[in-house]
Amino acid sequence: EPEVTQTPSHQVTQMGQEVILRCVPISNHLYFYWYRQILGQKVEFLVSFYNNEISEKSEIFDDQFSVERPDGSNFTLKIRSTKLEDSAMYFCASKREIQETQYFGPGTRLLVL
């Protein structure tokens, strides 16, 4: 069964450093998403991406965040200058059609020191 994959599974970084989180969505999917989940809290939507552009984003997704689909398979989330409060699990998700259900990747656990 096809699945969403994410790398790395864990990342530790120093405050102020840039990180890039990588995702490979399911191959025939067209809609891509990033979410975060701070430990013990709810899953929060960050951004959705379709047709090579951002379609919706939340207030969390400020100027320090960016997304890119650099080739036909990868979908990346960049955090330009990490803060302590960026420590969270980051999930990528994808779906084929807008009204269909989305499939989540296993997540990247980011720890900012």
Partner 1 sequence: RKEVEQDPGPFNVPEGATVAFNCTYSNSASQSFFWYRQDCRKEPKLLMSVYSSGNEDGRFTAQLNRASQYISLLIRDSKLSDSATYLCVVNKGGGSYIPTFGRGTSLIVHP
Selected binder of partner 1 within 58, 66, 76, 96 (CB under 8 A): 58
Residues pairing with 34 in the sheet: 47, 92
The tokens 């990747």 sit on which residue? 105
Note whether 91 binds partner 1 by CB under 8 A. Answer: yes
Selected binder of partner 1 within 42, 53, 72, 85 (CB under 8 A): 42
Note whether 101 binds partner 1 by CB under 8 A. Answer: yes
> Which residue type occupies 32?
F
Among candidates 78, 84, 79, 80, which has minimal Cα distance to 113? 84
Find the shortest distance in angstroms from Cβ 50 to partner 1: 10
Residues pairing with 66 in the sheet: 78
Site residues, partner 1 (CB under 8 A):
41-45, 48, 56, 58, 89, 91, 98-99, 101-107, 109
